[in-house]
């Protein structure tokens, strides 16, 4: 791969240690009354039958699936039901299991006497199978079926199916964090399930050896031991919090092809720990399996990212040191300013879900990175790949769309400790998009082989934007995506008329149940009824063109002025995107930053940062972020970051 191609912005990448993740239960949930759903009774019955403490069974299931059954459809790692049990038919992209070995579904069938197909399709049977596997793991460890939740730590670690002790311990630690905190949730089938908090559920980590083994839900794995192993002990120069399972699988930094053409890969050396400048975390999905992603990132002629997260258990692999610049965002400025996290999963299949284990592991990692580099925990700085702007007008149409409208940003930010809650009154100047993920199901197309084929109904954190306060009105247009005109669509990969959970916008107008925001230089309307709101009123700084300017340009990168470039560093033009902010329009502001360009010209030598005098603001311009020059605008509503 030629270095110039990666840096042009036209080639995109493929698809503070947390002491606890508390509290995770919204305050409103506590007032919803006692559980009435049969699924709660199924957990109680299975726990009693196999003498597993109910809190342990509920805690394991919550980490596996958040108690969702997904209509009997398998996850991306081939797991079924609330207990996320896999079998010999599983696609198995995340684990190495001999195909002849029985999977958890087969083992659960033998233990319970229930047919394998019923264990896949019937939530009650699935829960019963999970309880049987936990009880079997406890027996295999030579331990009695104690009523004390803390005594089941080894069985929970074994249930994880992790192929290394640190991963098994990280999984068990996360389950016990859930048990201590408690949870309450309405599942995807509309049933309420409650796990009462058990603050006393503190396992003794110095207990006898805990073996991983065939009881795990994803694989039959090598027998091992957790004796003396702590989650934070790992091989290689990994930069992860001690509360996650993390390994070092390095991306190659080496020459290939023609050195005269700058053929080397697949990242650049830098000194970002000393020079600073990491302002963003970019959330990607792999559009493939763990195995495929790890294989690709080890190719010198491919692109790179800092971390890959495994769906089944949240296990993390780091590939590029944080001080270096990975090639993942499709925008060279964002590459130099960000850390890239690839999550195993698929954008267009809503039932190939992102697991709770992966969400929680990712949240721990993001909290750690945000504390290390002072990154604000908001949606202007923790962004999806689909929020990264094109660096130039020509690059806008080719930008990626992952992790897509089915990524649960609301839950993710609850885990980050920054839930999206009202911070202003009903007539606020700013709103933050926040529909109810479970019940908000806007239609999408393009999840199958045909572009017009409807996607299966599924929860979504995105709202659709119209040109008028009427659902029958056209969707707003994105002139960057369609320079020649043309309406936005409801395609799952069309971001032209979409605002996502956590994104904040200045209010342009209100009309009954509808709210208009400033979006891509125009008023964009979305339905936001008081009885079932899809946004919350918030307080945030915003900007507008300074007095006397009819409009100001929007940029896809914050590069320095020409005079800042020293000899030997090629001038990077400051090219505006085909977007403008008109007088009187307002946009929510993020970090104030000097213009910067990271220049890496020669293999084996660290790149250098060119900083100028021009200052920019990051803004929420449309679905993607943008940049404006501070000299062009006036900031109101509070200080910018």
Domains and CATH numbers, the chain: 3-17+241-543 (3.40.80.10), 27-195 (1.10.530.10), 544-636 (no CATH)
pLDDT digits (tens, 9 = 90+) for 465-511: 999 999 999 999 999 999 988 899 999 999 999 999 999 999 999 99
**Confidence at residue 640, expressed as pLDDT on a 0 to 100 scale:** 64
pLDDT digits (tens, 9 = 90+) for 107-159: 999 999 999 999 999 999 999 999 999 999 999 999 999 999 999 999 999 99
Question: Is pLDDT at 366 greater than 70 in this prediction?
Answer: yes
Phi and psi at residue 288, to the nearest 5°: 180, -175
Give residue 235's pLDDT band: very low, low, confident or very high (50, 70, 90).
low
- Say what angle helices 165-181 and 356-373 make with each other, to 10 degrees: 90
Cα diameter, the chain: 79
Give residue 77's pLDDT band: very low, low, confident or very high (50, 70, 90).
low
User: Which residues, 6+ apart, have CB-to-CB distance to 139 below 8 Å?
Assistant: none
Asked if 179 and 149 count as a contact pair (C-beta separation under 8 A), the reply is yes
**Confidence at residue 216, expressed as pLDDT on a 0 to 100 scale:** 41
Tokens 């089915």 sit at which residue?
Answer: 406
Tokens 């897509």 sit at which residue?
Answer: 404
Mean pLDDT score, 386-391: 98
User: Which residues, 6+ apart, have CB-to-CB distance to 558 below 8 Å?
Assistant: 333, 593, 594, 595, 596, 616, 618, 627
Give residue 222's pLDDT band: very low, low, confident or very high (50, 70, 90).
very low
Q: What is the 3-state secondary structure (H, E, C) of 304-343?
A: CCCEEECCCCCCEEECCCCCCEECCCCCHHHHHHEEEEEE
Asked if 579 and 521 count as a contact pair (C-beta separation under 8 A), the reply is yes
**Confidence at residue 210, expressed as pLDDT on a 0 to 100 scale:** 43
Mean pLDDT score, 374-383: 97
Percent of residues, the chain, with pLDDT higher than 90: 72
Asked if 223 and 213 count as a contact pair (C-beta separation under 8 A), the reply is yes
Question: Is pLDDT at 12 greater than 90 in this prediction?
Answer: no
Give the C-alpha distances (Å, rounded to integers) separating 303 from 9, 273, 418, 605: 13, 22, 31, 19
**Confidence at residue 434, expressed as pLDDT on a 0 to 100 scale:** 98
Question: Is pLDDT at 452 greater than 60 in this prediction?
Answer: yes
Mean pLDDT score, 306-315: 91
What is the DSSP pairing of strand 192-195 with strand 183-186?
Answer: antiparallel
What's the CA gap between 14 and 501, in Å, rounded? 23
Asked if 115 and 104 count as a contact pair (C-beta separation under 8 A), the reply is no
pLDDT digits (tens, 9 = 90+) for 16-52: 222 233 333 333 333 344 444 489 999 999 999 999 9
Phi and psi at residue 264, to the nearest 5°: -150, 165
User: Which residues, 6+ apart, have CB-to-CB distance to 211 below 8 Å?
Assistant: 140, 141, 154, 158, 223, 224, 225, 226
**Confidence at residue 298, expressed as pLDDT on a 0 to 100 scale:** 97
Helix, strand or coil, per DSSP, at residue 76:
coil
pLDDT digits (tens, 9 = 90+) for 587-631: 999 989 999 999 998 899 999 999 999 999 999 999 999 999 999
pTM (predicted TM-score) = 0.87
Q: What rounded mean pLDDT belongs to the chain?
A: 87
Would you state the structure tokens that stand for residue 179, as one six-digit string?
């048990």
**Confidence at residue 79, expressed as pLDDT on a 0 to 100 scale:** 84
Give residue 259's pLDDT band: very low, low, confident or very high (50, 70, 90).
confident
Higher pLDDT, 180 or 639: 180
pLDDT digits (tens, 9 = 90+) for 60-74: 999 989 999 988 887
**Confidence at residue 78, expressed as pLDDT on a 0 to 100 scale:** 75
Asked if 534 and 434 count as a contact pair (C-beta separation under 8 A), the reply is yes
For residue 269, how many other CB atoms are within 10 A of its CB?
Answer: 16
Percent of residues, the chain, with pLDDT higher than 70: 85
DSSP E strand boundaries for 572-632: 576-582, 587-599, 608-620, 625-629
**Confidence at residue 56, expressed as pLDDT on a 0 to 100 scale:** 98
Phi and psi at residue 606, to the nearest 5°: -65, 145
What's the CA gap between 567 and 41, in Å, rounded? 73
Give residue 583's pLDDT band: very low, low, confident or very high (50, 70, 90).
very high
pLDDT digits (tens, 9 = 90+) for 534-549: 999 999 999 999 999 9
């Amino acid at each position: 791969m030629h270095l110039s191609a990666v840096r042009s912005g036209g080639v995109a990448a493929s698809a503070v240690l947390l002491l606890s993740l508390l509290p995770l239960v919204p305050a409103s949930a506590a007032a919803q009354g006692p559980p009435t759903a049969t699924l709660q009774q199924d957990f109680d019955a299975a726990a009693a039958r196999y003498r597993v403490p109910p809190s342990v069974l509920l805690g394991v299931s919550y980490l596996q699936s958040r108690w969702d059954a997904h209509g009997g459809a398998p996850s991306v790692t081939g797991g079924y039901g609330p207990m996320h049990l896999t079998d010999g038919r599983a696609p198995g992209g995340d684990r190495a299991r001999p195909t002849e070995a029985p999977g958890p579904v087969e083992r659960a069938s033998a233990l319970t006497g229930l047919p394998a197909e019923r264990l896949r399709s019937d939530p009650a049977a699935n829960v019963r199978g999970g309880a049987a596997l936990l009880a079997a793991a406890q027996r295999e460890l030579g331990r009695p079926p104690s009523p004390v939740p803390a005594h089941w730590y080894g069985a929970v670690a074994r249930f994880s199916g992790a192929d290394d002790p640190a991963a098994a311990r990280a999984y068990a630690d996360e389950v016990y964090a859930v048990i201590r905190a408690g949870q309450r949730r309405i599942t995807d089938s509309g049933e309420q399930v409650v796990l009462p908090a058990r603050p006393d559920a503190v396992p003794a980590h110095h207990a006898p050896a805990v073996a991983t083994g065939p009881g795990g839900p994803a694989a039959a794995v090598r027998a091992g031991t957790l004796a003396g192993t702590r989650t934070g002990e790992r091989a290689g120069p990994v930069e992860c919090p001690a509360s996650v399972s993390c390994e070092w699988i390095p991306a190659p930094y080496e020459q290939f092809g023609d050195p005269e053409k700058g053929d080397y890969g697949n990242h650049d050396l830098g000194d970002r720990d000393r020079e600073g400048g990491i302002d963003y975390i970019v959330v990607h999905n792999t559009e493939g399996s763990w195995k495929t992603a790890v294989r690709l990132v080890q190719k010198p002629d491919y692109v790179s990212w800092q971390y890959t997260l495994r769906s089944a258990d949240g296990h993390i692999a780091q590939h590029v040191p944080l001080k270096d610049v990975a090639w993942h965002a499709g925008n060279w400025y964002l590459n130099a300013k960000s850390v890239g996290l690839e999550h195993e999963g698929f954008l267009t299949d809503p039932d190939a879900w992102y697991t709770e284990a992966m969400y929680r592991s990712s949240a721990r990692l993001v909290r750690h990175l945000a504390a290390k580099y002072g990154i604000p925990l908001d949606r202007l700085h923790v962004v999806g790949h689909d929020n990264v702007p094109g660096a130039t007008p020509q690059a806008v149409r080719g930008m990626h769309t992952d992790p897509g409208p089915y990524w649960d940003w609301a839950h993710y930010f609850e885990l980050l400790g920054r839930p999206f809650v009202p911070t202003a009154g009903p007539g606020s100047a700013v709103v933050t998009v926040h529909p109810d993920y479970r019940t908000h199901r806007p239609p999408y197309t393009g999840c199958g082989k045909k572009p017009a084929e409807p996607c299966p109904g599924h929860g979504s954190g995105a709202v659709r934007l119209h040109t008028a306060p009427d659902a029958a009105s056209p969707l707003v247009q994105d002139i960057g995506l369609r320079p020649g005109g043309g309406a936005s669509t409801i395609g799952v990969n069309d971001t032209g008329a979409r605002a996502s959970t956590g994104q904040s916008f200045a209010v342009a107008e209100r009309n009954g149940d509808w709210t208009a925001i400033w979006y891509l230089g125009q008023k964009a309307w979305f339905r936001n009824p008081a009885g079932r709101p899809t946004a919350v009123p918030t307080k945030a700084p915003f900007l507008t063109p300074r007095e006397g300017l009819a409009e100001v340009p929007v940029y896809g990168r914050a590069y320095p002025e020409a005079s800042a470039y020293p000899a030997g560093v090629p001038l990077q033009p400051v090219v505006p995107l085909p977007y403008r902010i008109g007088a009187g329009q307002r946009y929510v502001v993020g970090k104030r930053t000097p213009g910067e360009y990271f220049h890496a010209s020669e293999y084996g030598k660290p790149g250098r940062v060119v900083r100028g005098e021009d200052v920019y603001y990051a803004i929420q311009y449309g679905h993607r972020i943008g940049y404006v020059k501070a000299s062009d605008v006036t900031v109101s509503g509070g200080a910018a970051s």
